[in-house]
Amino acid sequence: GQNTTVALSKNIFNPLEAYEIDFSGSNVGLKISEATATLGHRRVIIPSETTFGIHIVNSIVDMAFDGTTECELNWDFQGSSPILQSTSVGASPEMASHEEKEQVNLLIYSLRQGRFNLNVSSVGGLTITQAATTREDKEGLYDWKFFNAIVSPDDESAGHLFKVLHDERTMNKLLQVVRLVNKDLEKLARYLLKQVWRAKEIFDSEGVSDPGHAIPGHKMARLLSLFLCGDASQLHDILPIVVRVVKGEGLDVMKTKDLLRKNLSIYDEYASEIDRATRWAEVMLGSIEAPKPFVEKLFPLSLDPRFKDLFTDFPSAKELYHILLEKRHLPLEPAFSAMVSTLAPYMSFPEVEFILQSRPSKDWQPCDLRRLRYVYAVKKKVLEISESYGGLSFMPQSFFVSVFVGEATRASLRAWGRRHLRADTHLQSSPSWQTEKMSNESALHSLRKRRELSSNGSLHHLSTLQEEKELGDGDFLSPAGRIASMADIQNQTAGNGILRSKKSRARASVLSKQSQGVAQESFDVGDSLLGPEDVAILLQAGLTSSMRGSTVVQLNQRMLLDLMASQPRMFAVAVLCEIGSPGGQGNPRGLTSALMALLDLDQSSFTEFHRLDMQQLLESWLPGLKIPKREDYLAGGRWASRSYYDAMYNVAESILEEGKVYTAFKGYIQRVRHHDENDDVATAKEFELLALGSSSSQNDFSHLAKTIDFAKKAITAADEVGLRVLNRLQMTDKSSKDIEECESAVEAYNTAFTACRELLKLDKLAFHSEWFKSFYRRNYDALMVKSVYDNVIDDTDEVREWLWKLHKATSMHSNVSTSGRETNEDDDDDRWESYIDFKNPQNHCEQAILSAIISLLFYDEKEKAAIGNDPLVRLLISNPDGNYDFSIVTAMGVVTEGKKGLELESALERLKEKRNVHTIRADTGTARSLEFNAAQIMGAIDEVTQLNKPYGILGYSQGCPNVLMAESLLLSGSPAQQEKLSGQRSHLVCRQLLFSAANGSMHGPATEAKSHRLIVMCESFFKYQQGYCSRAFISAVLDTLTGLMDSAPFQKFVAGGGGTFLHKGSRAFWREAQHLSSVPTCVLRGVLEQHTTPESLEMISNLLTKAAGSNQHDSQVHVYEAVGRPIYTKNRNAKVLGNCEMGGAIQRTHHWSPLRDEVKFVTTQKDNEFGNFLCAKDRHVFPWVDVNARFGFIRYEIDDE
């Protein structure tokens, strides 16, 4: 085979990966004779003869600490406990008498001896498991599961900690310890803990074990009454408040405060705080005005005229792959080799991987190949860190990152040195250059020296500082420090802009555009080996670290800031865009939290002189923007009446707007644009045929024209036969299979199906024609009815009970006949019995059952009538028996367990049994960003390609934009990625979107507006409390809140995943998206009614109605948004998806229709009565698969014989 470079093993060009160290079998032990630790007026005494031990079970790591470690930790306090002593402030516990100090044992008996296994991942992640040498099966509250629940929580951790919380012995011990630390805090903790215990007693006495038991309004009111006053006397006062909230009308503040005043003894003492808390609850529980989406034309940023002229010196992704794959027998041009290695940090990991694999090593320049391999190693490591950082779970990560960041920074400097030596010969004699060449010079020192030459006027500023004695003999300002200390920022930024100098342009140009003699300004990519996305991830990992105050973390952050400062200004802007905002186009809320954390960066390990003024540093990168100071917005500040969070949010929005040029460049070099926005959209050849008319050129399409004409006539003929059969069915109770005329009609329709399949062989886009779409959709709806009918006859799952309960509930809640439609003497369905006992379908004729199913299943009256009078529906036409050559990739909703999920499990198992269709569940995450979930879906597609079968993608709710994003990324990616969509064997053939949230939901903007308002209200509350608390306490609270809002969960779930519900988030996705035009898209939409709404969805359903002004929704998305195309974005791709959308009738159901076992914990008695979660599951999958098999998009497996 062809010789290719596969960079999947150890990188011998990176010294940190060249050698490995084996620590396996090592032991470390510590025995303490006597030890104390004193802090102020408190002291901890360690028992004598205490022992600690570490046994390394398995550990092999390289010089970069890349590897895994398994070690066993053990401790033994010899039956005693460490003691916490406390005395009066200012006194010494050691000198105080016994009467003057208090003391308490820190540990209960169970924790005074133990052992567990501590596992450390290659990125510093911690997990705790049972010790390998445990002698007995030690189970209980304080086994290894307890420690793992604290350090690395998993699915079982919450339940374990809940048990600990209700262990009175443990909690009383904890309260004793807290009392010695702070008596007021102990008083508050004891009160809260008693309320938690009391709540549990109430739940137990009322038999509440699942949320579903407490969801009904009357039950919730009773529980609240018991909690407030100990009995049900307040039930009648509370119930109207609860009902008002459920209706989406918000909290009645006055009645709530009156209720609290009567039942809370502490109300008068804390009246102000309770009032604020009530106002917060009002915002959380009520509706709120949110901006409505609007229709606009949006083109990919890389094609935006404002930006694309900046990129003319660089090859686009499409040009790059073309050059790599053409003339593969010749080596690459040196200029192109250098360009690719220069752009590599800005590329995606799959792109760099493909580049290395596409050409043998000899085709590259040696220095460029080394750089590419190093960038590959960097991105691979950062990719691992991107999903593994923050909190106690990754406490040691900073030590791993320090080696990685230091080496990457040094490598960036070496790369800069080599390139600038060739281009700028005057640097050869520079002392700074000689310093940078020294292999033993520190990265920070090199960066400092380099910055002395990189900015206009900076040397003069340095000399001025030295003359004024502000710099000592050994003091140097780092690049970030130099920028932050400069008085004239505008002068500095003039030499550090986004546009390259003429010399830089001459060095970067690789294409023949140089010969045009046109001097164009160009985007400056700098020379860092870490791209903006890499730096952002590492910087964010430090900001969310549980060891933010450690010297190691602070040094890591400083090295990253200095690296940013040594690059063009736009590099820093790009990093800021990437922080908390995947792809540089995310939610400003995530960036706001990160900016607040960055401004409060801990620099305590640095001397006062070397600490950065983060405000000035950010302003140097963001000319024209004024960074707010927190002090100005606190009580007594110049802007105390305004919100600091609001001001920072506005800054974040401005950064994202300025960063669009980076987003455009990233799209330019990472995403292949197959078409320009002005290119014609490929569609059915029939339209071209019609445009030709009777011209001679039409002869070229003669066979196609005949095939189209034959297919249309076959459909018409089949409908004529079908309508005659329909009249025959009206006069008999026989099954369609027992009527001879029905066989003729079925045969006629099979002829029409065959004609359509033959047409698709000639023109794969023929389904874009309206007549084809109409026939396809009729079949989809017919198969939908047939799927439910088959479930009734075969008694599948609980479909009979569901329809029986739905029939009963419909009769109770609407002025319609028992079949679910208004009584009409001329109604053809009156010929069949009006009452259907679905529990005993054998007592009714086939067509009567079908009529009842149609009436109960579909929502729109016009669609019901059309479906009920369609022969395709009445004939119950089945596909031929046999296995389909097909697999499915599924991506489920916003709350999912990914691969472990159970959504539609029974339906997919039946499909496997009946048609041998394999299903691969994508391991998508709960409330994660589109980019993260798309990557998981692409991983599932990789599994499907191993099966070597065509496949379809099935998305549910938030899974719909996720699967569409995955398709777009593959289509825009490397040739290897594109092959996964359009390979000869394994390729995408169809889409199914269930209750699609791809166009966003009004829940998103409403929740976003609530979140913003609540944050501002909390900020106002703390300003009010500022006068009653110490400055240290206020600072601690602010630091805690900042840490929470910039924590890994907040960035991943709130800022990352939450942004996908926003119309702004979906707009950014649709702006850049590309999709295949040859793939039909089916949709399933629903509208809920009073009797089909689960009680757990009542409140959010009502809130959505008020936010959007329409009740035509399924509780999450509206019917006009749950379609297979963008409705608020107009561009070329919108037309492509519009051509592919095949539609589907609106059904009478709710958003959780595909779920069953997953929602048992919220299922109420009313839900069981109406069968709200007993929905037929097969209808979500079978009709989609069968209709595509009927028209030839899905083919049958061919028998070897």
Q: How confident is the model at residue 821 (pLDDT cuts 50, 70, 90)?
A: very low
Short-list 250, 306, 307, CA closest to 281:
250
pLDDT at 208 over 70: yes
Which of the residue ranges 41-45, 286-290, 503-507 would you say has the lowest mean pLDDT?
A: 503-507
Identify the DSSP state of 286.
S
Residue 421's pLDDT is: 47
Residue 828's pLDDT is: 45
Most confident residue range from 142-146, 400-404, 738-742, 887-891: 887-891
Most confident residue range from 238-247, 474-483, 894-903, 1026-1035: 238-247
In the predicted model, what is the mean pLDDT of the chain? 83
d(CA 467, CA 803): 89
pLDDT at 458 over 50: no
pLDDT at 64 over 90: no
Per-residue model confidence as pLDDT tens digits over 881-903? 999 999 999 999 888 888 999 99
* Distances, alpha carbon 430 to alpha carbons 531, 602, 664, in Å: 28, 35, 37
Per-residue model confidence as pLDDT tens digits over 152-185? 888 788 888 888 888 888 888 889 988 888 888 8
pLDDT at 296 over 60: yes
Per-residue model confidence as pLDDT tens digits over 1154-1174? 998 889 989 999 999 999 999
Per-residue model confidence as pLDDT tens digits over 463-496? 444 444 445 545 556 667 666 666 444 444 443 4
Q: How confident is the model at residue 417 (pLDDT cuts 50, 70, 90)?
A: low
Q: How confident is the model at residue 422 (pLDDT cuts 50, 70, 90)?
A: very low
* Distances, alpha carbon 609 to alpha carbons 401, 460, 478, 559, in Å: 26, 19, 11, 17
435 versus 140: the higher-pLDDT residue is: 140
pLDDT at 521 over 80: no
**Contact of 1145 with 1158, CB cutoff 8 Å:** no
CB atoms within 10 A of CB 657: 11
**Contact of 1157 with 907, CB cutoff 8 Å:** no
Residue 455's pLDDT is: 43
Q: What would you measure as the largest C-alpha separation in the chain, in angstroms?
A: 113
Which of the residue ranges 686-700, 710-724, 1098-1112 would you say has the lowest mean pLDDT?
A: 686-700
Structure-block tokens of residue 512: 């023949």
Only one residue has tokens 């040498």, namely 133
Angle between helices 770-794 and 846-857 (to 10 degrees): 110
Structure-block tokens of residue 743: 């066989």
Per-residue model confidence as pLDDT tens digits over 979-991? 999 988 899 999 9
**Contact of 617 with 561, CB cutoff 8 Å:** yes
Per-residue model confidence as pLDDT tens digits over 271-287? 888 999 999 999 999 98
Residue 242's pLDDT is: 94
Section 116-145 average pLDDT? 78
d(CA 266, CA 194): 15
Identify the DSSP state of 1055.
I
Identify the DSSP state of 1056.
I
Residue 505's pLDDT is: 40
Q: How confident is the model at residue 1030 (pLDDT cuts 50, 70, 90)?
A: low
Q: Report helix, strand or coil for 174.
A: helix
Contacts from 153-158 at CB under 8 Å and sequence distance 24+? 153/393
Section 260-268 average pLDDT? 88
Short-list 1045, 1109, 1117, CA closest to 1088:
1117
Residue 39's pLDDT is: 84
Q: How confident is the model at residue 532 (pLDDT cuts 50, 70, 90)?
A: very high
Most confident residue range from 535-544, 597-606, 721-730, 756-765: 756-765
d(CA 507, CA 504): 5
d(CA 524, CA 504): 8
Residue 426's pLDDT is: 35
Give the torsion through C-alpha atoms of 94, 99, 101, 106, to 10 deg. 100
pLDDT at 700 over 60: no
d(CA 700, CA 763): 14
Per-residue model confidence as pLDDT tens digits over 1041-1068? 766 665 666 666 665 666 667 778 888 8
Identify the DSSP state of 156.
T
Q: How confident is the model at residue 414 (pLDDT cuts 50, 70, 90)?
A: low
CB atoms within 10 A of CB 211: 12
Structure-block tokens of residue 969: 């990324």
d(CA 511, CA 507): 12
d(CA 246, CA 227): 20
Section 53-81 average pLDDT? 85
Q: What does pTM read for this prediction?
A: 0.88
Section 337-362 average pLDDT? 94
608 versus 491: the higher-pLDDT residue is: 608
CB atoms within 10 A of CB 1024: 13
Residue 1059's pLDDT is: 66
Dihedral class, residue 37 (left if φ above 0, else alpha if ψ from -120 to 50, else beta): beta
Residue 1043's pLDDT is: 65
d(CA 962, CA 327): 37
